[in-house]
Copies of this chain bind each other. A is one copy, B any other.
Amino acid sequence: MNSFTEENYLKAIYKLSLNGVQGVSTNAIADKLATKPSSVTDMIKKLADKKLVSYQKYQGVNLTKKGSDVAVSIIRNHRLWEVFLVEKLNFKWDEVHDLAEELEHINTHKLTERLDEFLGFPKFDPHGDPIPDKDGNIIQHKDVTLSDLIRGEKAVVVGVKEHSKSYLNYLEQLQLVLGAEVEVKDIVEFDATMQILVNNKQVIISNQASKNLIVKKI
């Protein structure tokens, strides 16, 4: 039906559209997929021919309903497989992304639904990202990050905006895993470096790190 490559483009466009952008730019897609803008233009034309995106030269690209459905279904697969890998095969949360990138393209309705059932219809993946249900409905995070908090506020870690091994590994060392409670003790005015409390331990965390940690105030 659609090639792996086409599916990856659709997913990238979907994610880049989440910030409310109207007309995702060629360069943004090229960046996200680590490819060249000229390659993106070629692929966009192909996706437009297949009615998966709407596109006018120089004006950026938008997913059609059809394209969005495909993207959401790939994301559903990805996140379900991540749950499987962590819950059933005991992988750590920093090891599953690349495997899920491959598994997500085995896009067979029956497999996805059976997997969902086997896993007990999970609502979130190991990184706190919401899993679309079988009709494609997805609850988006409100995206409050640790960096948004002010001195004295408390919150619970509910997700991450960055999925690199090094970031996830670092968070785990600091015990900043999903469900952890944090309290902001101090913020450096110059560069927004934070001093926080995690499990009664003082931790210093850069703005680079705190702005990628999604939290829920308590």
Contacts and interface: CB of A to CB of B under 8 A. Distances in A.
Interface of A: 85, 88-91, 95, 99, 102-103, 106, 108, 110-111, 114-115, 118
A99 B114 contact: no
Contacts of A90: 114
Contacts of A85: 111
Nearest to A91: B114
Nearest to A103: B106
15 contacts: A85-B111, A88-B118, A89-B111, A89-B115, A89-B118, A90-B114, A91-B110, A91-B114, A95-B110, A99-B106, A99-B108, A99-B111, A102-B106, A103-B103, A103-B106
- Best-surrounded residue of A85, A91, A102 (most CB of chain B within 10 A): A102
A162 B88 CA distance: 32
Contacts of A95: 110
Nearest to A89: B114
Contacts of A108: 99
A118 B110 CA distance: 22
A32 to B, nearest CB: 23
A94 to B, nearest CB: 13
A86 to B, nearest CB: 11
Nearest to A106: B102
A114 B110 CA distance: 23
